[in-house]
Amino acid sequence: GTPIAENAMTGVALGAALCGLRPIHVHLRNDFLLVAMDQIANYVAKWQDMFDHQVKVPLVIRSIIGRGWGCGAQHSQSLHGLFAQIPGLKVVMPSTPYDAKGLFLAAVADDSPVLFLEHRWLYKNTGSVPQEMYTLPIGKCAPMRTGSSLTIVATSLAAIHALKACEEHDLDVD
């Protein structure tokens, strides 16, 4: 593991991306991404715009969100809304195992920085995942259930909870 040097290690990952590598930098808890906010908001997310998209920043920052497992308040936040407001940074939050593989491979292939956030409570879920390589489009929704009386938009664990609620109440969801 790396030392408690989130800002520095994020800078190292950015440097590797700028040198032509496709680093996957893992921050185990998204709460500590705040320590790296200078690198993320001012450099990782802005580098392409500062140089008129003449450079690629193929960096994936992977982190875990959500409470649980005995985590304290500073180890269990879901800060995706904060990061989604940073221009130049893509934020991805899979809901199913199928989404996780397809979106992760898309994030690695992307030439722009992607923050890949996984909710800790989704790790226990199972589902069909093809062995072959596939990607899912970043920034596109994937309908999980269709109907005509209600539209629910949710990400990550919230999408699973919404789907379960619809099934339990037999809602006709659009």
Q: What amino acid positions are annotated as catalytic residues? A: 75
With 0-12 CB in 10 A as exposed, 13-18 as middle and 19+ as buried, what is 10?
A: buried
Tell me how many degrees the CA angle 81-97-129 measures, rounded to the nearest 5: 145
Do 72 and 100 form a contact (C-beta atoms < 8 A)?
no
Q: How do beta strands 60-65 and 114-119 pair?
A: parallel
Helix (H, G, I), strand (E, B) or coil at 73: helix
* Interatomic CA distance for residues 19 and 119, integer angstroms: 31
CA distances from 64 to 25, 26, 91, 120, 148 (A): 12, 9, 13, 6, 34
